[in-house]
Amino acid sequence: MEIFDDLEAEYDRLDDIFSGLSAAEWATPSLAAGWTAVDVLLHLAQTEEMVVTTLTGAPSTFSLDRGPVSVDEAMDQWVAAERSGPEVVYPRWQAARKQSVAALRAADPNRTSAWASAPLRPATHATTRLAEHWAHALDITEPLAIPYPDTARLRHIARLAHRTLPYAFGLVGEPPAPIRAELTGPADETWTFGPDDTDSVIRGSLGAFCRVGAQRLSPEASGLTTTDSHAETALRVLRNYAA
């Protein structure tokens, strides 16, 4: 399936970047508050391992049943509990990402598995992994001034963000509205999501749309345009993930 191939391609790109980082670079503060670059990779390794345990039923040291603790708080506690150096974390992520892709490919495509906020089918699960790795890669590469250009793989993330809009509207107590996104990719290709017969349209860069959804870019600074108040609200609540 295309999403699994694209997920693996993104992992390969990240592996090439990670393999060249020095000890000092791994210790650099990331854009994820309170985490160094190696802490971010530890979080990615932990959640890749959680994908495998979720899909296979293998024992896990982490429970999706968080009680009153938020997702962000739970992830921060998990990183703090297992914090280590790159000599431990990097090979851990390398092993986990291979196992994760293999488990996603082997899973029943129509069967859902529990995740942070709702059960997911394997293809959607893979898309969330792509979205999380891409966003956290920005957290690592931007402080280190490492090039991390956009690719057409972002279309998966944009589709996920668009499909998540009803959930996002609900989080702020707004009724969902039909929204179309008309986005231009890095090679000037066009990606369109949503109904053709709506007047509520978001237009602009595919990368900017995904960055707004990842909360790495404000709507005001994105260069994205909206045609009415519904589209403006959609851009304000846009997210590539559920929490």
Tokens standing for 71?
Answer: 């997702």
The alpha carbon torsion through 68, 69, 70, 73 (nearest 10 deg) reads: 170
Longest dimension (CA), the chain: 54
The angle at the Cα of 115, spanning 114 to 120, to the nearest 5 degrees, equals 70
- What CATH number does residue 98 fall under? 1.20.120.450
* pLDDT-above-70 percentage for the chain: 95
Q: How far apart are CA 188 and CA 190, in angstroms?
A: 6
109 with 209, same domain: the answer is no
112 with 11, same domain: the answer is yes
Last residue of one domain, picked from the residues 98, 121, 144 = 121
Say which residue, 171 or 39, is predicted with more confidence. Answer: 39
114 with 175, same domain: the answer is no
231 with 166, same domain: the answer is yes
pTM score: 0.93
Say which residue, 223 or 240, is predicted with more confidence. Answer: 223
Residue 134 lies in a domain: no
Query: Residue range 207-221: average pLDDT?
Result: 97
Residue 53 lies in a domain: yes
102 with 190, same domain: the answer is no
Residue 126 lies in a domain: no
Cα separations in angstroms, 156 against 35, 38, 126, 161, 200: 27, 26, 10, 9, 21
Q: Give residues with Cβ within 8 angstroms of 175, minimum separation 6.
A: 169
78 with 173, same domain: the answer is no
* pLDDT per residue as tens digits for the range 114-145: 887 778 999 999 999 999 999 999 999 999 99
112 with 160, same domain: the answer is no
Residue 81 lies in a domain: yes
Q: How far apart are CA 27 and CA 160, in angstroms?
A: 32
Question: How many domains, in total, are found in the chain?
Answer: 2
* pLDDT per residue as tens digits for the range 140-159: 999 999 999 999 999 999 99
116 with 160, same domain: the answer is no
Whether 27 shows a pLDDT value over 90: the answer reads yes
103 with 174, same domain: the answer is no
105 with 7, same domain: the answer is yes
What's the first-to-final CA gap in the chain, in angstroms? Answer: 27
Residue 57 lies in a domain: yes
Q: Any alpha helices (H) in the chain, and if so which ranges?
A: 2-18, 23-26, 37-56, 71-82, 86-106, 122-141, 154-163, 165-171, 206-213, 229-237
Taking the mean position of all CA atoms in its chain, how far away is CA 138?
Answer: 11
**Residue 161 identity:** A
* pLDDT per residue as tens digits for the range 182-201: 999 999 999 999 999 999 99
pLDDT band for position 1 (50/70/90)?
Answer: confident
183 with 86, same domain: the answer is no
Domain boundaries, position 84: 2-121
216 with 110, same domain: the answer is no
Q: Are strands 201-205 and 180-184 parallel, antiparallel or unpaired?
A: parallel
Residue 184 is predicted with a pLDDT of: 98
